[in-house]
């Protein structure tokens, strides 16, 4: 049975000197002369910090071996104490055996000088699942990206440009896998000409391996009783172009969940945003429903959709916390969601997957157990998502746009019918050929309407109309955020719940009847009187053939003399034109993550997810498949987004 690769937590232990110790590697987590002093001497001074981050917009540190997080806390504290520190600090760290929350809390309690920082870190400590986990700290000015897994599995998946490297981990004699040329090559790949590196060890094999890989390191005075360490830079830099960081001004077309989230993530980095929409107000289209559900997708093989949804859910919940801290509370509830199995076969599979994998915040509930949790007995058992949430999308969008004051300027009743570009500047024009906005970066977040523009006409993107039926909350008393399955039932807001979402073929009465039937399939003992439905709302779900979004810089439109390409990096792009499209039924799960991905691409920052996921959502992925086959590109323009 396939399941996510399991992360084995570190075991809390101490050696005879009271130093945190790993029995698995027979080594201590820091020098007997003191962990704080070691981090300051080896990693800060070894990389000429804090001097090198001063005056920078972004500074990125990559570390091998997060351990108890002490080097991170020391760095964070030094950054906070520096009045001339960089505006944005990125700290990216690999850890094969992270501590669970409680053990990490025990370790960090030993450092009272970092109590406030440790509390903030522990408050966002993620579930111990493989892959990338992004934490926003210090008001979003410090970003910690934790990569849980084997170093040679996660480092190749990192898209980043390192300014400094902390080569840490257990000693080369105890943990040789971390100190190999293969690891050094991956670190070198992330470097530029001015990257520096420091490590506490001076082992000859490490020094030779680094120098042979492209670094130029030499011995320096070690910390405490350790005579020597290694520090240095690059002997030769990778042949990778510097990231394109445009002037911090973007025009975003479309003010639904995608457009508002992208606007907020860019504004958080000091960008100025012009946001235009054909409607008078934001969040009036598919993002205008009273409430929507958000829970992770689960698959036997933990596929791309599952991994992307898990990362997206975590980021949305983190952003909701930030908005709440900023006094911009969004109507929502994290009360749990039950996904009822659609048939006995799926019920058996759900139970088997739950029992065979190590899935965060997921349990299988029998019908009886679900009845105790919900207050109603479902037709079948199903998955219980402990962190499942309902969210009010319009309120979410309003909070996103309000967070950074006048950095985001909204203009409604504005339909863009044409784009053109000249000398690095994009212009958007309306039907009367009036310029409605111009900027060096344009981001299309206007769902299937994007295809009306010549530059996006061949994207495989379409919409499916769905109907949401509103009920009075009193019609169903439910102790959860909602229920999903063949249909769905949301949490309560303003005295109403929503059931949905039937396909709309022009007959609202038929769609409402289908929604009622779907609810009956979820909760057979619930009966709704004929006049229970208050109203019905039609909305469009924009989707793509593989149900994954289209995120990133758009490819040049296909033509007969298009170059033969075998990799996404070879495809010619429309410089400065990006997509945030095809969110389907997962706008709440994906919008914040999409915004963070695009903001990192545009700002030259480390990506928040693995390269495999970036490739999976690249807008050019369908074009690439045709080019690899040597075929003319014909985008698929119809499909079924049935979840």
As a whole number of angstroms, the distance between CA 622 and CA 624 comes to: 5
pLDDT 10s digits, 393-432: 999 999 999 999 999 999 999 999 999 999 889 999 999 9
As a whole number of angstroms, the distance between CA 591 and CA 256 comes to: 9
Torsion on CA atoms 284, 286, 289, 293, rounded to nearest 10: -150
The length of the chain in residues reads 643
As a whole number of angstroms, the distance between CA 298 and CA 383 comes to: 9
Between the CA of residue 326 and those of 298, 305, 420, 589, 595, what are the distances in Å?
32, 31, 38, 21, 19
3-state SS string for 53-73 = HCCCCEEEEEEECCCCCHHHH
C-beta separation of 161 from 190 below 8 A: yes
Q: What's the pLDDT score for residue 613?
A: 97
All domains of the chain, ordered by start, with CATH?
21-234 (3.40.50.150), 249-285+395-452+545-629 (3.50.50.60), 337-386+462-543 (3.30.9.10)
Q: What's the pLDDT score for residue 25?
A: 78
Q: What's the pLDDT score for residue 640?
A: 42
Spatial strand order in the sheet of 196-199: 131-137, 142-148, 88-95, 58-64, 164-167, 196-199, 228-234, 215-221
- The kind and range of the H/E element at 321 are helix 304-325
Tokens of 73: 């806390």
As a whole number of angstroms, the distance between CA 489 and CA 499 comes to: 5
3-state SS string for 375-425 = CCCCCCCEEEECCCEEECHHHHHHHHHHCCHHHEEEECCCCCCEEEEECCE
Number of Cβ within 10 Å of residue 265's Cβ equals 26
Beta strand pairing status for 228-234 and 292-294? Answer: unpaired
**Helix extents (H) in 436-507:** none
Please give the angle made by the CA atoms of 470, 519 and 290, to the nearest 5 degrees. 25
Please report the beta strands in 186-326, taking only residues with DSSP state E, as ranges in sequence order.
196-199, 215-221, 228-234, 249-253, 272-276, 292-294
Q: What's the pLDDT score for residue 29?
A: 74
CB neighbour burial string for 482-497, b if at least 16 within 10 angstroms, e if fewer: bbbbbbbbbbbbeebb
What lies within 8 Å, CB to CB, of 488 at 6+ separation is: 293, 482, 498, 499, 500, 501, 518
As a whole number of angstroms, the distance between CA 487 and CA 478 comes to: 16
**What is the torsional sign of CA 436, 618, 321, 354?**
positive
pLDDT 10s digits, 599-617: 999 999 999 999 999 999 9
Q: Which residues of the chain have pLDDT under 50?
A: 1-4, 640-643
As a whole number of angstroms, the distance between CA 425 and CA 454 comes to: 17
What is the three-class DSSP state of 15? coil
Q: What's the pLDDT score for residue 641?
A: 41
């Amino acid at each position: 049975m396939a399941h996510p690769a399991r992360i084995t937590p570190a075991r809390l232990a101490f050696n005879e000197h009271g130093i945190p110790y790993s029995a698995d590697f027979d080594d201590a987590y820091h020098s007997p002369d003191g962990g704080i002093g070691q981090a300051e001497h080896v990693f800060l001074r070894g990389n000429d910090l804090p001097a090198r981050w001063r005056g920078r917009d972004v500074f990125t540190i990559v570390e091998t071996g997060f351990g108890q997080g002490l080097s991170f806390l020391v760095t964070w504290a030094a950054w906070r104490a520096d009045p001339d520190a960089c505006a944005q600090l990125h700290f990216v760290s690999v850890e094969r055996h992270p501590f669970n929350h409680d053990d990490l809390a025990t370790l960090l309690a030993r450092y009272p000088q970092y109590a406030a920082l440790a509390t903030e870190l522990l408050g966002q400590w993620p579930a111990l699942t493989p892959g990338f986990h992004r934490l926003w700290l210090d008001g979003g000015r410090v970003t910690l990206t934790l990569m849980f897994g084997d170093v040679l599995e996660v480092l190749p998946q990192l898209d980043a440009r390192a300014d400094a490297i902390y080569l840490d981990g257990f000693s080369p004699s105890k943990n040789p896998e971390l100190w190999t040329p293969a690891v050094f090559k991956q670190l070198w790949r992330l470097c530029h000409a001015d990257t520096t590196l420091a490590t506490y060890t001076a082992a000859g094999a490490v020094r030779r391996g680094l120098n042979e890989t492209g670094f130029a390191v030499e011995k320096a005075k070690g910390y405490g009783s350790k005579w020597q360490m290694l520090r240095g830079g690059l002997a030769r830099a990778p042949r990778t172009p510097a990231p394109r960081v445009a002037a911090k001004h973007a025009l975003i077309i479309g003010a639904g969940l995608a457009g508002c989230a992208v606007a907020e993530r860019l504004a958080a980095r000091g960008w100025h945003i012009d946001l235009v929409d054909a409607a008078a107000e934001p969040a009036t289209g598919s993002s205008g429903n009273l409430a929507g559900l958000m829970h992770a997708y689960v698959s036997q093989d933990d596929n791309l959709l599952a991994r992307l949804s898990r990362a997206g859910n975590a980021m949305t919940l983190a952003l909701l916390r930030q908005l709440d801290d900023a006094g911009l509370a969004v109507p929502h509830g994290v009360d749990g969601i039950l996904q009822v199995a659609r048939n006995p076969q799926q019920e058996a599979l759900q139970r088997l997957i739950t029992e065979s994998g190590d899935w965060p915040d997921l349990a299988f509930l029998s019908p009886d157990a679900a009845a105790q949790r919900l207050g109603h007995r479902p037709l079948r058992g199903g998955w219980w998502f402990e962190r499942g949430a309902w969210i009010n999308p319009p309120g979410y969008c309003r909070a996103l746009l309000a967070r950074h004051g006048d950095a985001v300027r909204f203009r409604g009743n504005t339909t863009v019918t044409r784009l053109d570009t000249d000398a690095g500047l994009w212009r958007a024009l309306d039907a009367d050929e009036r310029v409605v906005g111009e900027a060096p970066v344009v981001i299309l977040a206007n769902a299937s309407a994007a295809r009306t523009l010549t530059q996006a006409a061949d994207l495989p993107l379409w919409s499916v109309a769905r109907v949401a039926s509103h009920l009075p909350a009193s019609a169903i008393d439910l102790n959860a955020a909602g229920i999903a399955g063949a249909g769905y039932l949301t949490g309560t807001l303003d005295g109403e719940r929503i059931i949905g979402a039937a396909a709309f073929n022009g007959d609202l009465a038929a769609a409402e009847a289908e929604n009622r039937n779907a609810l009956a399939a979820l909760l057979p003992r619930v009966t709704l009187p004929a006049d229970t439905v208050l109203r019905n709302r039609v909305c469009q779900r924009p989707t793509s053939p593989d149900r994954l979004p289209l995120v990133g810089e758009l490819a040049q439109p296909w033509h007969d003399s298009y170059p033969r390409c075998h990799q996404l990096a070879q495809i010619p792009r429309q410089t400065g034109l990006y997509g945030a499209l095809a969110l389907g039924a997962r706008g709440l799960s994906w919008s914040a993550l999409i915004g963070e991905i695009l903001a990192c691409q545009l700002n030259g920052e480390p990506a928040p997810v693995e390269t495999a996921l970036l490739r999976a959502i690249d807008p050019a992925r369908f074009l690439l498949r045709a080019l690899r086959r040597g075929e003319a590109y014909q985008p698929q323009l119809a499909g079924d987004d049935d979840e």
